[in-house]
Structure 1
Amino acid sequence: MRCSRSARRLTCGTAAAACAATVAVAGELSTGALLAVAAAGVVVTAVGLARRAGAAAPPVGRRGAPWLGWLAVAVAWELVVLADDDLPTLSDLADPLLAAPVVRAGATLAWLAAGAWLVTRPARREPG
């Protein structure tokens, strides 16, 4: 059964709002928030894999170098933190920012939007 694009968007928007509301209401590091985010992540991952999202996207090439640099900095920071317990982890640094329920809900919606963008990447190259 195929649904219209507007029905899919409404369903996805409702699910995203429910996830964000759960994260906002359940509180930091709660089981409810963890389950809501994990369930949303599993759904987005499954849809992406089923659609073979991004398979036809052009190679990133040099455009990915800045992102690779940021990833290397984040990994290096976490490795240094493992060696020195006095330094805060990246999640420790983010905790004060995400303390407010509204900000936590907004961050959840941004995370889900990034996942939706990744899922909508092309699966096949357009002829032409």
Structure 2
Amino acid sequence: MTEIMLVSHSLNLAKAALKLAKEMNPNKSVVHICAGINDGIDFGTSTIEIKEKLSNILKNNDALIIYDLGSSLMNVKLAIKMLENKHNNLIKILKAPFLEGLLLSILYNNENITIEELKNKVELETKEHFK
């Protein structure tokens, strides 16, 4: 099953979003949080922390990344480049609103769906909601 990684400027925001998503759909999706800097005390994202968490996920699985703001995306892309294209086919970045993307990713994620199918399904559904 695809593992999900939340990248957020705020540890509190990421934890609250995950709590809500798990309450609404408590499936077995594994969700990693990469949020805040200085152990989540301050706002921001760390390219190095993103790279390290991605490296750990990619040892056994693929990773769908959900991010909150544009600078989070910038750090995600830089972290992926730092992986030197070793795992690019195992990483997908979701283009969907943060909370809705998380909720739907957890809802649709299962052993029978590929990361590409999961990404496309969530993006299509969120796109329909935000026309």
- Normalising to structure 2: TM-score of the pair? 0.24
Q: Whose helix fraction is larger, Structure 1's or Structure 2's?
A: 1
Q: Whose strand fraction is larger, Structure 1's or Structure 2's?
A: 2
- Normalising to structure 1: TM-score of the pair? 0.24
Q: Which has the higher relative contact order, 1 or 2, with Cα contacts under 8 A spaced 6 or more apart?
A: 1
